[in-house]
Amino acid sequence: MAAIILAAGKGTRMDSDLPKVAHEVAGRPIVWWVVDAVRRAGATPIVLVVGYGADVVREIFDGDDDDIVYVTQTEQRGTGHATACATPVLGDFAGDVLVLAGDGPLIRPRTIDAMRRVHEAAGAAATLATSVIEDPAGYGRVIRDADGRFEAIVEDRNLAPEQRSVHEVYPSYACFDAAQLFATLERVPPDEISGEIYVTEVPAVMRAAGKTVELIDAVPPEDVLSINTPAQLAEVGDILTRRLEAGVP
Q: Which residue among 13, 117, 149, 242 is the active-site one?
A: 13
pTM over 0.75: yes
The domain 2-240 having CATH identifier 3.90.550.10: the answer here is: yes
Per-residue pLDDT tens listing for the chain (249 residues): 999 999 998 878 888 889 999 999 999 999 999 999 999 999 999 999 999 999 999 999 999 999 999 999 998 899 999 999 999 999 999 999 999 999 999 999 999 999 999 999 999 999 999 999 999 988 999 999 999 999 999 999 899 999 999 999 999 999 999 999 999 999 999 988 889 999 999 999 999 999 999 999 999 999 998 898 999 999 999 999 999 998 877
pLDDT at position 193: 83
Q: Report whether 86 contacts 42 (CB < 8 A).
A: no
Q: Report whether 9 contacts 82 (CB < 8 A).
A: no
Three-state secondary structure of the chain: CEEEEEECCCCHHHCCCCCHHHCEECCEEHHHHHHHHHHHCCCCCEEEEEECEHHHHHHHCCCCCCCEEEEECCCCCCHHHHHHCCHHHHCCCCCEEEEEECCCCCCCHHHHHHHHHHHHHHCCCEEEEEEECCCCCCCCEEEECCCCCEEEEECHHHCCHHHCCCCEEEEEEEEEEHHHHHHHHCCCCCCCCCCCCCHHHHHHHHHHCCCCEEEEECCCHHHHCCCCCHHHHHHHHHHHHHHHHHCCC
pLDDT at position 12: 81
Q: Where are the domains of the chain?
A: 2-240
> Which residue, 107, 220, 236, 77, is CA-closest to 174?
107
Q: Is 58 a catalytic residue?
A: no
Q: Which residues contact 166 (CB under 8 A, 6 or more apart)?
A: 136, 141, 142, 143, 159
